[in-house]
Structure formats: C-alpha cells, structure tokens
Structure 1
Amino acid sequence: MRTVGSLVSRPALIGAVLVVVMLLAGFVGWRLTGGGEYVAPTPSIAPVVRADTEGARASLDELVDGVREGAEPDGEDPASVAVRNANAIGIEDVTARYVAEADNVEPNGSWTADVEMSWRAPGDPALTEELKVGFDADGAITGFSAAQGTRLPLWLSGPVEVRRTGSTLVLVQGSAEVADRYAELAATAVDEVREVISWDDPRLVLEVPAAGLESALGAQPGAYSAVAAVTATVDGSTKAGTPLHVWVNQGVIGDLDAPGAQVVITHEATHAATDAPTNTRRPMWLVEGFADYVALRDTELPLSKTAGQIIAQVRENGAPEKLPGTAEFNTRSEHFGAEYEAAWLACEVLVEAGGEQALVDLYEETGRGIALEKALQSGFGFGEDELTARWRTHLSDSAK
C-alpha cells in the first residue's frame, strides 16, 4: 500500500526535471561565454589580395629597357627570353603600357593583365597589340598570351632560333637543327621563285611557331589546323604594299619529306614575291595554281603524287564543271587539297598551250587589273571557256 508521503504526481515530476535541465543549460551557457550573456563568435575574414600593379609596371619597364639597351639577360624567365629574342631579331621601338587587370587576383597574388605593347621588326611597320600578360605576387612577368582576335608575336611566345641571309629571315621555335632546315628551305625558295619571275629585292620572312598558327595570326582555334603554311600581312590588313610574312605550321609540314616541304615554302614564297594576299584582282585558281606551278616546276615526282587527290576525285565523280573559285579554297573545304592540284593543272594546260612566259604574263596582267578573258585571248588566243574545256579534258585523261 502506498502512503501519502510516498505519492508524487506525474506533472510535478516532469516540471522538476525541466527546471533541472534549464539550470544546466544556463550553467553551460555561462561556461561558454564567461558570464551571463552568450556572444556569437566573430567569423574569420580572408585578407584581400591585391595586384602589385607598381611591381608589374616596373617589370614591363625593365623589359622595354632591356630591348632598347641591347641587354643580354642570363635568366630563362619569360621576360629575359623575350629580351634575348628581340635582340636577336632586331626588334626596335618597344613600348608596354599596363592597362588593367584582366581577371581576379588569385589567392597566391598572381594575376593576368591587359597590356598594350608596340614594336617594330626590321623591314616591317610598327605594330601594336593588346596582349595578356601574367604576373606573380611580386609583379614579375610569368608569361604572354594573345587576347581573342589579337596576334601574339613569336618573340614574346618562347625561345626563338634566328637565321638570316641577305634575302631571308627565319624565326623558329625549335632546335638549332630545325632552324637550319627552314633556313635552307627559305633560301632555296627564293632561288626557285627568281628563276620564273623578277624579284629584284627579295625579302622572305618565315615564322615557325612551336604549335599551330592560330595564336600567331589571331585566328579561331582550328582555323589553320590542316594548313601547312600561309602568307599574310604582318598586321592582318589587306592594304597593298604591307609587308608579308610566311607562317609555317610545324604540325603539318613536319610530316612532309624534303621535296614536299620545299614545294610548300616555294609556293608561299611565290605569294610573298607577288603580293598575292593583298592583290584581289586575279582569280583564285590562277593565284594558287601559279604558285604551285613555280613550286613544282622542276619536280620529278609522278602525277600520282602531285595531283593524286584531284585525279581520285575525277575518277569517282568526273571532271569538275568549272575552275575552282574562292569558296573552294576555304581551309575547311572537304576537298581542300584537290582544289590546289586542279588549279595547278590549269596552269600546266596554259604552259602547254603558250609557254611559261605566256603564263607569267597572264599572271602579271591580271594582277594589274586586266580582265582574265582579255588577257587569255591576248596571250593564248582563246578565252576562259576554251581553257576550262581543255582543263577538263586534261583531268579526264590523267584519271584514266
């Protein structure tokens, strides 16, 4: 039997437990805050990392002074390499103006900035590009790159081997052996072009980047992935008289044997000698076909090697109805190589009909603005329709 003194109601018991819990909570709170009031901890804030722009400007000034003074730095950092390249090439009138940070500063203090740089290479006009320049936490230069649509000059993109003669300048990102190879190709190309046309004061500049042409030419990725070489103005313009350089794609030409590589360089040298990139008067088939004619003039390679692609195409689909136009020479064309072969064979047909000098005269006359039909009638006694018919017959006969 329960006595009155031993009986405790359930609600009273729960209340007593709650009081104890609340007292314990208060004690814990007091122990945590050191007093009677709870204070939330202050969140930690990461320190703000700022770009050392003064250090960056000082580094750019050092680079400019090194080029102007002809310094020979010992380091292998990007700025020292650029100074050595510039001195070897003969770069002058260098300026570098810090514009602004291009991206956020990294936690380690490094960042990339937009920098306007200008320079002048021998025989070229002054060039200006807004480039991306990397800096470390102390403002030292860590690298150069091209902004979208701008050209990164070879002398700022890594170590360069330089070879020069009285008529050639060759800039190569590669070994001394590779540079010697391109120097020989360039010298031979000048000689081969001069055997066909007048080139009284030859100047052939070859630029050979380590990988691809897109950065050097300010082009979209993949635009020149299948192109062995390209001749273009140094500033990307189409103004007549602007100096021309030949940019070589090592990834493509490196797989060619010596005769094949020579054909490529002589082809481009022909463009350089005749200002082909800035002269839009000639039909494209004549521009490319003539350059291949000069390059293949003394070759002993069989037609299966020099025109294998177009012959295979003719065997499958028959001869094309018309001479290739500008659209067919697009670098992304499915039959890109075949179009060059077809244009070359058109020039071969002309030489067979009237001789080499007649072809040279046609090239020069159309370059001066004389209409193709008139120049053909004057030099060969027939017009474009007859040329096309003879060319188609030649293709069909070659494909048998």
Structure 2
Amino acid sequence: MRTVGSLLSRPVLIGTGLVLVMLLAGFVGWRLTGGGEYVAPTPTAEPVVRADTEAARASLEALVEGVSDRAEPDGEDAASVAVRNAHAIGIADITARYVAEAGNVAPDGSWTADVEMSWRTPGDPTLTEELKVAFGPEGAIAGFSAAQGTRLPLWLSGPVEVRRTGSTLVVAQAPAEVADRYAELATAAVAGVRKVVAWKDPRLVLEVPANGLDSALGAQPGTYTAVAAVTATVDGSTKAGTPLHVWVNQGVIGDLDAPGAQIVITHEATHAATDAATNTSRPMWLVEGFADYVALRDTKLPLSKTAGQVLAQVRENGAPDHLPGKAEFNTRSEHFGAEYEAAWLACEVLAEAGGEQALVDLYEETGRGIGLEKALQAGFGFGEDELTARWRTHLSHSAR
C-alpha cells in the first residue's frame, strides 16, 4: 500500500538528483575553461559628448563682427547668409549673447542653444529676442529659429531680396522679380495714402516671408492663413509711436491680380501711416473701413467685386442690424472679408453725406480720443444710430 508520505518523498529524491547533475555539469564546464574566479564583465560606458560652447561663442562673435564691419562673406552657410542680409537691409547695433543649451547634445556634437540677440533696422528701435541657434559639432552656426511666441526676423531665416526707395523698404524671401513687384506696390501705396492722409516723412516697410505669417509674427499656426497682409509693431507691443511694418502673406496675395494686390498694400499702408496698430480709441469698423476707403478711392471696380461677399449675405439674410465690431473682425471667421466690405460701405456713406474731408476729420478726431457719437454729431449732424440706419439702407439697395 502506497502511503501519502511515500508518494511525496519520490519527487524530492528526483529533484535532488537533478540538482546534483546540474552542479556536476557546471563543475566540468568550469574545469574545461581553465578554472579561476568568475568575474562579471564591466559594461562599456558611452563617451560623454559635450557642447563646444567656447566655439559657439566665438561663432556668435564672428557673426556680430561680420555684420558690423561690412565685409561681404563668400560662404553659403547660415551665418554668411545672415551677414549679407544684414548688410543689404542696413542692420546695425547687433549683439549676440549665448544663454544656455536648449536640449541634449547629439552624438555627433551638434546642439541647439538659447541666444539673446539684439539689432536695429534703420528707422526702428533696437529689438531684442531670445532665439534658438543651432550649432554644428565644432560650434559653427547651422541655423536660426524662433522660440514659441517669439518672432524670427527675415534676415536670420534665409536669403532675402531687398528693395528700397526714399520712403519704402521691402525685405522679401522671394525671387528678384517678385521683390520688384512688391517694391512697385509699396511705392504706389505711399502715393495713394498721401492723396487722402497727411503722411509726413512717409516710411513703409514690407516684410514678405516665404511661408506665411504665423511664424514670422510669433502666432499660433492657422492664425493668419487666410490673411493677405498684417500691419503690426516691429516688437509686438502696443506702445504708441512704435514703428509699424507690414507683413505680407505670399500664399494669399500671390493669387490676386494687380488691382487686388494694390488694394491690399494700400490698405495696410493706411494703417501704417495712421498708427492704427497702436491706437485703440477708434471703433474697429472705422479703422478697417477707412483703410479700405483710401485703398479703393480711385478704383473703377464694380460693387460686385469690391463688396460681393457682404452683398451676398444681405441678399440671403438681410442687412445686419449693427456695424461690425471687434468680434466680427476675426481672422478665423467663416465670413472673413465681408466685414471689411461692410465697414468700407459705412465709410462710403459718411463720405457721401459730408465729403471726404469730413470722413478724414472723423478718423483723426476719434484717434485723438474724441468719442464717436460726439465726432459724428460735430462733423455730420447725426449720430451712430442714424449712420447705422443709412448704412443698412445702402446695403439693402446695393444688394438688389
């Protein structure tokens, strides 16, 4: 009879035998390989790659010296391109201070660092930005980029074409013939604005990046996809008196015919001439409508071209019950463009009611902080309610 105990004892014996066999096999293996004490192999450490920050600082110093001494470089590397651009534009007062590594150093010794740079474009204040600079294994400058929310100037972002006159400056990442076109548009825009606005010592700067406006203006992707051009301060501030530049979206304006492109640039030149980007006292419809009034002043285009979007809306939904406000002038609006046409027609109503000079006076007075209602009553003899009623009637009649 097999007891429980006998049944349990057999696996133990078998297991012990297996252990002995394994120990003997290990002993034989040890004897065959020569014996001695077993030592685990030492792991091989990866070599530590460090950024050559001294070489990087020397490269930044060479960039500063190259811009300052006006000697033309003959290379095609990022630093040489930046120096040539700076000379063509007239960049001065440049500094570059290495701040810190931004991320890990690559196995080949290349890395990116935060670098604080400052410079001055003729007619502008000194600008300071903390940029990302890529360095090669030996510290040579490999490229420039903007940190999130900051602007990368065109002269640091690749080759540019520069055109200048006494009153205009065009900096374009574009072929020579395209830069020539923008120079002509800028010159005509200055002349068009001066027919209406007293623009003393005019200066119009066009910046034309290759790949849209978002990165050039430090904006979120998609902010300016549908916008042909934007007038903004050179440093992104809203401080009164800060010089303004016009940034042009080649992806939009490049599809326009000559009259359409001229309207866009003259519109933006009006903003530049009247410090529209830093003056917040005027209602938005007057800011945008007046700029379109100046840009369209001499056009012979029919309303179907100049106000086609808003008139289509009026035919479908009737005239809007209020003048367009800040909420309507949204670059992501489904009907972006119709708001500008509506604002322009409001200014047309005013010009027809009181004449062009009365419209100019209204624009200037509201810019000095005089309330819209008071300025309308003084210049036209009616207030905003009457203007809105006349504007709605004009829209309805024009949409027939």
**Distance (Å, rounded) in 1 between the aligned partners of 2:20 and 2:217:** 81
Long gaps (5+) in structure 2: 1-11
State whether residues 30 and 37 of structure 1, in contact with CA within 8 Å, keep that contact through their aligned partners in structure 2: no
1:370 CA drift (Å): 1.6
Query: Aligned partners of 1:292 and 1:19: how far apart in 2?
Result: 98
Residue aligned with 2:41, SS: coil
* Aligned: 1:137 with 2:137: yes
Q: Which residue of 1 aligns with 2:375?
A: 375
- Alpha carbons 1:307, 1:341 under 8 Å: kept: yes
TM-score of the aligned structures, taking structure 2 as reference length: 0.94
Between the aligned partners of 2:60 and 2:146, the Cα distance in structure 1 is 17
1:269 — aligned with what? 269
Contact 1:362 1:376 in 2 (8 A): yes
Q: Which residue of 2 aligns with 1:395?
A: 395
Q: Does 1:198 align with 2:198?
A: yes
From the superposition, tell whether residues 20 and 254 of structure 1 become closer, same or farther in structure 2 (CA, over 3 Å): same
Q: How many residues align?
A: 389
Give the Cα–Cα distance (whole angstroms) in 2 for the partners of residues 154 and 286 of structure 1: 32
**Partner Cα distance (2:210, 2:345) in 1:** 33
Query: Aligned pair in 2 of structure 1 residues 21, 285: CA closer, same or farther (>3 Å)?
Result: closer
- Structure 2 Cα separation of the partners of residues 165 and 57 of structure 1: 36
In the alignment, structure 1 residue 247 sits paired with structure 2 residue 216: no
Query: Distance between the aligned counterparts of 1:280 and 1:314, measured in 2?
Result: 29
Give the counterpart letter for 1:349 in structure 2: V
Query: Corresponding residue for 1:36?
Result: 36
C-alpha change, 1:17 and 1:164, in structure 2 (3 Å) is: closer
Give the unaligned 5+ runs of structure 1: 1-10
Q: Which residue of 1 aligns with 2:4?
A: none
2:366 maps to what in 1? 366
Aligned partner letter, 1:53 = T
1:299 aligns with 2:324: no
Pairwise CA RMSD = 1.8
In structure 2, the residue matched to 1:71 is 71
Distance 1:150 1:14, change over 3 A: closer
What is the DSSP-based 3-state SS (H/G/I as helix, E as strand, rest coil) of the residue aligned with 2:97? strand
Structure 2 counterpart SS, 1:327: coil
Structure 1 residues 122 and 35 mapped into 2: Cα distance closer, same or farther (>3 Å)? Answer: same
Q: Which amino acid aligns with 1:363?
A: Y
How far 1:22 sits from its partner (Å)? 3.8
Task: Tell me the residue number matched to 1:126.
Answer: 126
Structure 1 position 168, deviation (Å): 0.1
1:25 aligns with 2:23: no
> Displacement of 1:111 after TM fit?
0.8
1:46, CA displacement in angstroms?
Answer: 1.0
What do the CA deviations read for 1:297-333 (whole angstroms, capped 9, x no partner)? 1111111111111011111111110001111112122
C-alpha distance 31-390 of structure 1, shift in aligned 2 (>3 A): farther
Cα distance in 1 between the residues matched to 2:138 and 2:164? 38
1:209 to 2:209 alignment: yes
Please tell me whether residue 115 in structure 1 is matched to residue 115 in structure 2: yes
Q: CA deviation at 1:180?
A: 0.2
Question: The residue matched to 2:288 in structure 1 has which SS?
Answer: helix
Paired residue for 1:8? none
Note the C-alpha offset of 1:15: 8.9
**Partner Cα distance (1:329, 1:338) in 2:** 9
SS state of the match for residue 264, structure 1? helix
**Higher mean C-alpha deviation, range 364-373 or range 170-179:** 364-373
Change in CA separation of 1:185 and 1:19 when aligned onto 2, cut-off 3 Å: same
Overall identity of the aligned pairs, in %: 81
